[in-house]
Structure 1
Amino acid sequence: MFYGNLRDPADRAFLKDALRRLGGLFGRVHATDNLIALGRTFSLFDEPHYQDVLRRQARNTQEQSLGFRLNTLIWAAHQALHVPGDFVELGVWRGFCSAVVADYIGFETVDRTFWLYDTFEGIPAAYDSEGHDSPALREPGLYEKVLERFADYGNVRVVRGVVPHSFRGQSPDAIAYLHIDLNSTRSEIEALEHLWDRVSPGGVVVFDDYGWWNYRAQHMAEQEWMKARGIRILELPSGQGLVIKP
Structure 2
Amino acid sequence: MQLPKLTPPADPHVVQDFFVPVFWGITDADEIAAFARAMAKRMAGGVHFADNFLSWGRNNSMFDDQPFMTAWQGNLGDHAIDQATVWRRYILACAGYHAVQIEGDFVECGCYRGTAVKVVVDYLGGPEFPRQFWAYDLFEHDDSDPHHAMPEHGPDLHAQVQARFAGYPTVRIVRGRIPEVLRAEAPQKISYLHLDLNQVGAELAALEMLFDRVVPGGIVILDDYEWSMGYRPQKLAEDPWFDARNYRVFPLPTGQGLVLKR
TM-score in same-fold range (> 0.5): yes
Q: What SS class does the counterpart of residue 57 from structure 1 fall into?
A: coil
Opposite residue 145 of structure 1, the aligned amino acid is Q
Residue pairs, 1:181-196, within 5 angstroms: 181-196=196-211
Opposite residue 242 of structure 1, the aligned amino acid is L
Q: Give the aligned length.
A: 239
Structure 2 CA distance for partners of 1:205 and 1:107, relative to 1, 3 Å: farther
Task: Identify, as 1 or 2, the structure richer in helix.
Answer: 1
- Does the CA-based 8 Å contact 2:121-2:129 persist in structure 1? no
Of 85, 90, 108, which residue of structure 1 is paired with 2:127?
Answer: 108
1:63 lines up with 2:82 in the alignment? yes
- Alpha-carbon distance in 1 for matches of 2:177, 2:226: 24
Opposite residue 121 of structure 1, the aligned amino acid is E
Structure 2 CA distance for partners of 1:109 and 1:90, relative to 1, 3 Å: same
Structure 2 CA distance for partners of 1:107 and 1:226, relative to 1, 3 Å: farther
* RMSD across aligned positions (CA): 1.9
Residue of structure 2 equivalent to 1:166:
181
1:19 lines up with 2:40 in the alignment? yes
Of 42-51 and 175-184, more deviation after overlay is shown by 42-51
- Alpha-carbon distance in 2 for matches of 1:125, 1:137: 17
Q: What SS class does the counterpart of residue 31 from structure 1 fall into?
A: strand
Of 40-49 and 223-232, more deviation after overlay is shown by 40-49
Residue of structure 1 equivalent to 2:215:
200
Residue of structure 2 equivalent to 1:48:
66
Structure 2 CA distance for partners of 1:16 and 1:140, relative to 1, 3 Å: farther
Opposite residue 62 of structure 2, the aligned amino acid is L
Residue pairs, 1:90-101, within 5 angstroms: 90-101=109-120
- Alpha-carbon distance in 1 for matches of 2:66, 2:256: 25
Residue of structure 2 equivalent to 1:157:
172
- Does the CA-based 8 Å contact 1:3-1:62 persist in structure 2? yes
Residue pairs, 1:68-147, within 5 angstroms: 68-122=87-141, 125=144, 128=146, 132-136=147-151, 138-147=153-162
- Alpha-carbon distance in 2 for matches of 1:41, 1:123: 42
Structure 2 CA distance for partners of 1:4 and 1:106, relative to 1, 3 Å: same
Structure 2 CA distance for partners of 1:155 and 1:135, relative to 1, 3 Å: closer
Opposite residue 21 of structure 1, the aligned amino acid is R
Opposite residue 202 of structure 1, the aligned amino acid is G
1:28 lines up with 2:46 in the alignment? yes
- Alpha-carbon distance in 1 for matches of 2:117, 2:177: 19
What percent identity do the matched residue pairs reach? 39
4+ residue segments displaced more than 6 Å: none
- Alpha-carbon distance in 1 for matches of 2:221, 2:143: 23
- Does the CA-based 8 Å contact 1:210-1:241 persist in structure 2? yes
Q: TM-score under structure 1 normalisation?
A: 0.90
Of 146-155 and 164-173, more deviation after overlay is shown by 164-173
Gaps of 5+ in 2: 1-19
Residue of structure 2 equivalent to 1:38:
56
- Does the CA-based 8 Å contact 1:122-1:137 persist in structure 2? no
* CA displacement at 1:32 relative to structure 2: 2.1
- Does the CA-based 8 Å contact 2:100-2:131 persist in structure 1? no
- Does the CA-based 8 Å contact 2:72-2:86 persist in structure 1? no
* Higher RCO structure, 1 or 2 (CA under 8 Å, sep 6+): 1
